[in-house]
Amino acid sequence: MKYKYTATTHAGEGRPANEDFIGAYEVEDGILAIVCDGVGISSGSNIAAKLCVASIHKDFCSSDDPDYLKRIKLSLSSANEMLRNYSKEYLSGETLVTTADVLFLNIQNVYWGHIGDSRIYNIKNGTLHRMTKDHSLVQQLIDEGFLTMKEAEFHPDRNVILKALGEVKDVGFDLSKMHFNKFDNYKFLVCTDGVSKIFSEEELESLMKRYDINECTEQIKKLISSRKTPDDYSFILVGVE
């Protein structure tokens, strides 16, 4: 099985620094994609994501556990502890906080971990599926029946997240896996909210269905640039052949 992938990260319009950080790596016989979005509640938010990606990559690759989902779980837990320790040692009580999404494709299986409001999507035979649920206030209000999906798009608290790495010692994150058939023409997208809040899912489906990995990447970048988003944006696209 062969993989094609692209990795893109860019500071938002007028922003002095990019608080996102991403990494795409060929690991063993698969692809490891990590996307983190630093939460701007401290002076160290621009390094939280970078430290987190480095920690997850190191711990995932240094493990020889054949259970890849367990590797992701331990890597996320370790990154959470690292951020908390870094904050205590270097930031005088401030807290390094970041979202984190980790995707690993191996042969015909995909494993992922998620915390925050970045997202993982897949498109199978032209149909888009969201693989993660936002840990956000508006998602909670949707789940409880107080908001519709449309109302959530314009809610004043749409950027409030309820979970992230670095906040508390015993943080909870989502873990899952699935089997996929390479003949089903899969693509995977791991992205920050700087992408998911700019595009509707219908738009993403159209782009991912119409274009190959490289051209889809260019189209996403072009459209985000034309819409002059103030948020940083980052995404990794992976195609399976």
Q: CB 129: neighbour CB atoms within 10 A?
A: 12
State the chain's mean pLDDT as an integer.
92
Q: Would you say 209 and 126 are in contact if contact means Cβ atoms under 8 Å apart?
A: yes
State the average pLDDT over residues 172-195. 93
Answer yes or no: is pLDDT of 231 > 60. Answer: yes
CA neighbor of 177 nearest in space, from 54, 56, 73: 73
- Which run of H or of E encompasses 219? helix 213-227
57 against 14, higher pLDDT = 57
**Domain at 3-240: CATH code:** 3.60.40.10
Q: How confident is the model at residue 239 (pLDDT cuts 50, 70, 90)?
A: very high
Q: pTM for the whole thing? A: 0.95
Q: How far apart are CA 167 and CA 92, in angstroms?
A: 15
Every domain of the chain and the residues it spans: 3-240
Q: How confident is the model at residue 43 (pLDDT cuts 50, 70, 90)?
A: low
Q: How far apart are CA 132 and CA 119, in angstroms?
A: 6
Answer yes or no: is pLDDT of 42 > 60. Answer: no
Query: According to the model, what pLDDT value does residue 82 have?
Result: 97
DSSP structural state of residue 222: H
Q: How far apart are CA 100 and CA 107, in angstroms?
A: 23
Query: According to the model, what pLDDT value does residue 164 have?
Result: 96
Start-to-end CA distance of the chain, whole Å, equals 6
Answer yes or no: is pLDDT of 187 > 60. Answer: yes
State the average pLDDT over residues 116-139. 95
Mean pLDDT is lowest, of 13-22, 72-81, 96-105, for 13-22
